[in-house]
Amino acid sequence: MEHNSSEIIRPRFVGLHGDLKRFAVLRGALAAPSACLNVRDTSVLEDALQRTHARLVILDSLDIYSGTGIDLHRSAETLPLLEKLARLAQRRGCCIFLIRHLSKRGPGRLALRSQGSIEISAALRTEFLAGASPDAPSQPALLQIKSNLGPLAPPMVYRIDDVGNFSWTGLSKLTREDMLADRPTGAGLPKRRFAGEWLREYLQDGSETQGRIETAAERDGVCIRTLRRAKFDLGVHSAKDGVKGPWYWSLPVAWEQQPPMEEAR
């Protein structure tokens, strides 16, 4: 692994109530302990799997442990490596979890923002994207962006506190495009206008309770006071459900008949 296991990986594993008897860190072969692990030599991984009977192998990250002399952007070099790992997983009945990091923001296709060739994504059974919108960097989410095994899971917001404890905090409305945007969607826009665009998009599919709207707004970095001003700008309707029921917000008919923001721009 990329990080020091005793200082970071192990404490976080324990914090998630992991069983240390089932935790192992592989750094290299016994015959050459000073050498960095190279996953192109699958015999080292196979020996470790035989010894530990592990069912999950995490390579953090793939570009570090693919070794020198291989270019992950070249399919001719990437595909043989993935094929070796796939055969190893099949023989040992385990899951191999590959971690890749995104390249720096800049122009280009979204699919090419991750390090390595597009064939890596094509060869995976399932793929996740972890990150946040530039407009709300403190609200990261996990998105499943590919699945050959079933329907995609809903995006989930997560939190890592100051001591490294991980927790899920609810569902997210973030999309892959939000996370990989080259610039914040609200960059250069007045906060009130950005809040109005957020509220219109949130209510595009129908009415919602005020409580849920404000919770989602805070999650996405929208100030509640600004949100209420944007509500007035858009002419959003408020209606109470009975005497003790919650308040519901909904777009006026003129807004509901317009196409979604992505199509209207």
Tell me the backbone φ, ψ of residue 240, rounded to 5 degrees.
-90, 135
Helices (H), 10-141: 10-15, 42-52, 62-65, 75-92, 118-123
* DSSP H helical ranges for the chain: 10-15, 42-52, 62-65, 75-92, 118-123, 176-179, 191-202, 210-219, 224-234, 253-256, 261-264
Phi/psi of residue 169, nearest 5 degrees: -120, 0
- Tokens 């979604």 belong to residue: 260
pLDDT in 10s for each residue of the chain, 265 residues: 445 666 778 888 888 888 999 998 887 654 444 456 788 788 888 999 999 999 999 988 887 887 766 777 777 778 888 899 999 999 999 999 999 887 655 444 444 455 555 778 888 899 999 988 766 677 789 999 999 989 999 999 898 877 778 889 888 888 888 787 665 555 445 788 888 889 988 998 889 999 999 999 988 888 898 898 888 878 888 888 877 788 999 988 644 444 443 333 3
CA–CA distance, 265 with 258 (Å, rounded to integer): 11
Query: Which pTM does this prediction carry?
Result: 0.61
Domains of the chain: 5-179 (3.40.50.300), 191-264 (1.10.10)
User: How far apart, in whole angstroms, are the C-alpha atoms of residue 184 and residue 178?
Assistant: 8
In this structure, the dihedral spanned by the alpha carbons of residues 163, 167, 169 and 170, taken in order and rounded to 10 degrees, is: 160
